[in-house]
Structure 1
Amino acid sequence: MAVPADDKTLNLQDELSFPILLADRVIKSAQEAESSKQECSDLAMQVERLSHMLRSTVRLAALSAHPLYERPVRRIVADMAKNLERALTLIRKCKHSGVLRQVFSITTTADFRKVSNLLESSIGDMKWLLSIFDSEGTNLSLPPIASNDPILAWVWSYIATIQMGQLKDRTDAANELASLARDNDRNKKMIVEEGGIAPLLKLLKEGASAEAQIAAATALSNIATDKERVISIVQNLGVPIIVQVLGDSSTRVRIPVANLVARMAELYPEAQEEFARENATRPLVSTLSMGAVLDDPKLHLGKTTIHSLVQINKELTKNGKATSINDHNNSSSLLGRSHSSSTHYDGTSRGGHYNKKEREWETESPEVKLKVKVNCAEALWKLSKGSLENSKKIAETKGLLCLAKIIEVERGDLQLNCLMTVMEIAAVAASNSDLRRAAFKTNSPPAKAVFDQLLRVTQEGSSPRLQIPAIRAIGFLARTFPARERRIIGPLVVQLGNNNVEVATEAAVALGKFVSPENFNCVEHSKAVIEFDGIPPLMKLLEIQEQGPQMHGVVLLCYLALHFSNSKALEQAEALKALEGAARSVVAQNPDLRDLFARAIHQLTVYQDAAYPHRQPSAT
């Protein structure tokens, strides 16, 4: 009885030994045949060729310097075993004689031809298999087993080359897999199913050449376009390898690797936490900070210690007043050892390696520098989204200061990605008071730098694409600002009247967080909104016949009415009438707002009835 070819408990040697034994039985049975001797002999010759090829494969597996790529071996050997069993069954029938021989002779001619064709296909499969293991480069011929699916043969050949070939051939094969993966999802799925992830990660980790690493990272990025495939990379222990390469590799290699991090983090939340455990944000922030210069080195301080002060004084004496983010973070890296016992700001060790990276950075073209920073900023954005651990680590590595500086001086995708990162960290801080206090304390230099840039982007009004995340970030941090911090409210009120409906709506949402009863300073912030003349643009927003703008505008108006129902501005704007007019449509879409509406309308009604005793009651 045949051993199941898909039994995963069998090692490759055992799986190859079964068809070898089966081939020996076929040859012996052919020698014992009493009828159709020539046909049996012809089959035996075919089987003997297969037996030699199988033994060559066993020797190759035993002597190869690299682990043999097993996937095509197992598929081809399993198919061959079925063909050998059919040959054995047919030849055993030829041991009959007499009347039985005459019965069987009627059907055996076609049967022999069919089995011979099957064995010939197995011979073609084995010739192809040995060729991909022995050849110097990739073999793009088609084995019979893949005649209906040539992509399968190419995938097998490329993976075998990546796992067992020479460096140049491995690089070329990785580039070919990247191209196949770019074509369609079926190819991506096939590469994963045929075991392509592990060899690509190995090629990436080895760092034999920048070209090989770029090819491997690009292939992995093209494969990692859905959750299941990202899970495959994580399960193959890809995250530690990726983070190591981010810290140790050349600038050009970090471009596709950072892109891979962004894709994995976006598609699989558990990957975010894996990257947090490996401290992936550290090399990303370090790359972003390359070449950046801050005007005041004291801004680098988080928790000031005697050690850090001594180090900074040494830097000032040596380098003058301006110092780079990287310089300081290397000098103060001892402060971060509670988070990473043996790594520094860029995720690497100090000394010659760090200087080498700096020198390499200086020689790179502006295009390469920009591209790697854009990708690293996007990776930070995706890592920080909804992740407390990654958001904390970005803040701990002085990442906020770096992000603020880039938002100030850069434009385009780099500025946007940094802004989105700040927004996502702010979103996490909105629901975590510890992060909010640690990262966004209003008197800390990094927080001040971030707030300044958020306000600047909000006020400039050059691009809604930038204004919206800036305004959202300010809104997320609403509970951070004390009552006396009025410089935040004014710009938001101005944007409440922005001609762009999305920007105006986001301003209403942000202001709603400032004046919400959940905000301890809601009364003072409400007063500031009214004093900055926020009621007129708010009433215009309510006139927009769209669900989003109208709802958020009405919520803001309700909060203001709760805190300042006696406001002349609300009275002059006929806020009560506006709320009553919007109540039915908004509450119908948002039933949870019914209580807020009722309380706001009641407050305004009570005030107006008290101020005007002869006023006719409003319809409710």
Structure 2
Amino acid sequence: MGDGVKQILTKPIQLADQVTKWADEANSFKQECMELKVKTERLVGLLRQAARAELYERPARRIMDDTEQVLDKAVSLVSRCRARGLMKRVFTIIPAGAFRKMFIQLDNSIGDVSWLIRVSSAAAADDFGHLGLPPIAQNEPILFLIWEQIATMFTGSLDARADAAASLVSLARDNDRYGKLIIEEDGVGPLLRLLKDGRVEAQENAALAIGLLARDPESVERMVLAGVCSVFAKVLKEGAMKVQAMVAWAVSELVANHPKCQDVFAQNNVIRLLVTHLAFETVQEHSKYAIPSKGMSIHSVVIANNAAAPMDTAEKSQMQHPCGNQSRNNKNQMHNVIQSTMAKSGNTQSNFNATAGAPKHKQNASLNGTGIKGRESEDPATKANMKAMAARALWHLAKGNSAICKSITESKALLCFAVLLEKGADEVRYNSAMALMEICRVAEQDADLRRSGFKPTSPAARAVVDQLLRIVDKAEYDDDLLVPCIVALGCLSKTFRQTETRIILGPLVRLLDEREVVVMKKATLALTKFACTENHHHVDHSKAIINAGGAKHLVQLVYFGEEIQIPALILLCYIAIHVPDSEALAQAEVLTVLEWSYKQAYMVQERTVENLLHEAKTRLELYQSRSSRGYH
């Protein structure tokens, strides 16, 4: 809506005035000219009414262009009826159907302008069920239906705006083209206003519509420029939980379809707000863990606390890496880790507050402004959905972004993910596993993130790895969590010590034995990250894989693995290079497997595989031939 569109009304009004004036001067077809004058006067009256109204610009420009063309033809028609003199009238030919066609066109223009005025009126916006479409919409009814809903979003009552948002949701869900039209026709702005100011149901519909509109990078970019990130942050801070959950889902959709907007959301504090929602009733609420202050990460708090208070033997064992000195049958260890961590952090933060001289009531002020107040009364389903959507949003925000992953690992999010992996609902667990997988993928490439977020002394890392191992060890193949947990463990391969190798690699090796193809492939790739030369403990890891029975499984996969043949061959080559004198490799006849593989053209197409295979075969020929004679 705006005044700029009124400039295009000047020419149609001038043409209409000229038609009425020349109609009075007609010397032929006087009756038809009088009827033409009546219709034109009705049209110009509507045009002047439109000039006084706040018009919806997108349809206004189209309707005024069409109306101007109709009136231009009307001027041409009545000008011929003004011809004076016998000869001029004789040679001025007007087809019999010209006036009939003009009457239809003027009626259509009257209908179009009348619709435009009503669609731009707040009073009419509440009654769109009886408004109908203008004549100009015959060729593109959907476009005009979209215009109606957007106009209602601008001018209608709260109820009408809620209904219009629901209609836009239906249109955006049905067709990609409809979604693009909603964005092109300025539909994002009123949706964002409704999201800020509407009732809960209307806000949900607005957030859902925005998420559905995020079909491609261009659409997301236009919504980001319209201010969607700041509005989402405001809702995540102050909105109703149902709306916040829908907004979190919308964040995940926008980021999934246009990863470049990750940093814009981070700049608007969305990461911190999502972590706060994830932590609500998941781990003990505490300002230090809700929003870590700069320079005071979760790790530094734990270390500071350990320095301040001597640890007994049990505490010292807990401070080791999650896989070190743990009993596989101790199902409550993660809970002990988290409870111990939170208890320690409470004491540490109290000491920190006292040192800084900060009043206690100020420490919780940040939580009171983030939508926490009153959330305890929400129903369990709403709380679970909020956590699921917060985890989903963090999953997509973390993907490939070191800075965001660092923010997540410095918060209490890792502890939350660990708890939710065990105790959350199905969707919460899956989204948490996917978020951890993406964070671990980034940590694999980012040494600084790996050292700070997953260092062995980190209780959060202990809790996470404990849960990843539990799921992999359980190995339920109908469980969607298994694959992301396998990938995550593989990405963390450089963080594990020699003493932890057996506990980590045993469950992964067992997955190589007659399992689903995708599971075996992911397990093979994860094990390769442990055994590859780039891993500092590659020799110990390779020995652990052999001791767990990995050689015989890999031999079978190289021969019969189909989709897994190449990954299995690469892993087998690394093991052979690092532990060429292993008797287990000789018994499994690995050298024979490598020689067979070398003759398969499709297996050595890539130069890196060929070079790896050649090195492994050469190493085994030095050791295994001698060892083999000992078996005969």
Structure 1, residues 333-361: CA drift from partner, whole Å, max 9, x if none?
999xxxxxxxx999x9637545xx44532
Larger RCO (CA under 8 A, 6+ residues apart): 2
Q: Spell out the pairing of 1:122-161 with structure 2 (5 A cutoff).
A: 122-132=109-119, 133=121, 134-139=123-128, 140-161=131-152
Q: Is 26-35 or 282-291 further displaced after alignment?
A: 26-35
Return the offset for 1:16: 1.9
**2:24–2:34: 8 Å Cα contact kept in structure 1?**
yes
Tell me the distance in 2 between the aligned counterparts of 1:297 and 1:10. Answer: 50
Return the offset for 1:501: 3.0
**2:279–2:285: 8 Å Cα contact kept in structure 1?**
no
Partner residue of 2:323? none
Tell me the distance in 1 between the aligned counterparts of 2:622 and 2:340. Answer: 61
Shift in alpha-carbon separation, 1:297–1:248, aligned structure 2, 3 A: closer
Q: Is 115-124 or 31-40 further displaced after alignment?
A: 31-40
Partner residue of 1:80? 67
Q: Spell out the pairing of 1:292-307 with structure 2 (5 A cutoff).
A: 292-293=282-283, 302-304=298-300
Q: Does 2:588 match 1:553? A: no
Return the offset for 1:124: 0.7
Q: Spell out the pairing of 1:333-352 with structure 2 (5 A cutoff).
A: 350=366
Shift in alpha-carbon separation, 1:323–1:450, aligned structure 2, 3 A: closer
TM-score normalized by the length of structure 1: 0.85
Partner residue of 2:333? none
Shift in alpha-carbon separation, 1:503–1:322, aligned structure 2, 3 A: closer
1:167 counterpart (148, 158, 163) = 158
Structure 1, residues 592-613: CA drift from partner, whole Å, max 9, x if none?
3111111111111122345568
Shift in alpha-carbon separation, 1:386–1:55, aligned structure 2, 3 A: same
Structure 1, residues 132-163: CA drift from partner, whole Å, max 9, x if none?
22415142412101123332232111111111
**1:287–1:373: 8 Å Cα contact kept in structure 2?**
yes
Partner residue of 2:322? none
2:87 counterpart (99, 104, 128) = 99
Structure 1, residues 297-341: CA drift from partner, whole Å, max 9, x if none?
9999615469x97xx99xxxxxxx969989989x97999xxxxxx
TM-score normalized by the length of structure 2: 0.84
Return the offset for 1:278: 2.0
- The 3-state SS of whatever aligns with 2:499 is coil
2:52 counterpart (55, 59, 66) = 59
Structure 1 spans left out of the alignment, 5+ residues: 1-7, 62-67, 314-320, 336-343, 616-620
Tell me the distance in 1 between the aligned counterparts of 2:533 and 2:490. Answer: 14
Structure 1, residues 426-450: CA drift from partner, whole Å, max 9, x if none?
1111111111111111211111111
Q: Does 2:506 match 1:490? A: yes
Give the residue type in structure 1 aligned to 2:146.
V
RMSD: 3.4
Tell me the distance in 1 between the aligned counterparts of 2:102 and 2:112. Answer: 15
Shift in alpha-carbon separation, 1:349–1:522, aligned structure 2, 3 A: same
2:107 counterpart (102, 112, 120) = 120
Tell me the distance in 2 between the aligned counterparts of 1:596 and 1:345. Answer: 60
Q: Spell out the pairing of 1:50-449 with structure 2 (5 A cutoff).
A: 50-61=43-54, 68-97=55-84, 98-104=86-92, 106-132=93-119, 133=121, 134-139=123-128, 140-206=131-197, 208-293=198-283, 302-304=298-300, 350=366, 353=369, 357-449=371-463
- The 3-state SS of whatever aligns with 1:402 is helix
Give the residue type in structure 2 aligned to 1:491.
P
Give the residue type in structure 2 aligned to 1:71.
R
Shift in alpha-carbon separation, 1:277–1:296, aligned structure 2, 3 A: closer
Partner residue of 2:331? none
**2:586–2:628: 8 Å Cα contact kept in structure 1?**
no
Partner residue of 2:526? 510
Shift in alpha-carbon separation, 1:602–1:424, aligned structure 2, 3 A: same
Structure 1, residues 470-524: CA drift from partner, whole Å, max 9, x if none?
1110111111223332222222222232533322222211111111111122122
- The 3-state SS of whatever aligns with 1:503 is helix
Shift in alpha-carbon separation, 1:223–1:328, aligned structure 2, 3 A: farther
**1:29–1:92: 8 Å Cα contact kept in structure 2?**
yes
Give the residue type in structure 1 aligned to 2:298.
G
Tell me the distance in 2 between the aligned counterparts of 1:332 and 1:103. Answer: 100
**1:496–1:508: 8 Å Cα contact kept in structure 2?**
yes
1:480 counterpart (480, 489, 495) = 495
The sequence identity of aligned pairs, in percent, is 38
Tell me the distance in 2 between the aligned counterparts of 1:212 and 1:51. Answer: 38
Structure 1, residues 165-204: CA drift from partner, whole Å, max 9, x if none?
1111111111111122222223223222222111111211
**1:299–1:445: 8 Å Cα contact kept in structure 2?**
no
Structure 2 spans left out of the alignment, 5+ residues: 291-296, 310-337, 353-360
Q: Spell out the pairing of 1:593-604 with structure 2 (5 A cutoff).
A: 593-604=609-620
**2:591–2:624: 8 Å Cα contact kept in structure 1?**
no
Partner residue of 1:467? 482
Return the offset for 1:365: 1.4
Shift in alpha-carbon separation, 1:333–1:184, aligned structure 2, 3 A: farther
How many matched pairs? 578
**1:279–1:393: 8 Å Cα contact kept in structure 2?**
no
Tell me the distance in 2 between the aligned counterparts of 1:366 and 1:216. Answer: 24
Tell me the distance in 2 between the aligned counterparts of 1:326 and 1:305. Answer: 12
- The 3-state SS of whatever aligns with 2:97 is helix
Shift in alpha-carbon separation, 1:296–1:185, aligned structure 2, 3 A: closer
Partner residue of 2:31? 38
Give the residue type in structure 1 aligned to 2:63.
I
Shift in alpha-carbon separation, 1:601–1:158, aligned structure 2, 3 A: same
Tell me the distance in 1 between the aligned counterparts of 2:69 and 2:286. Answer: 75
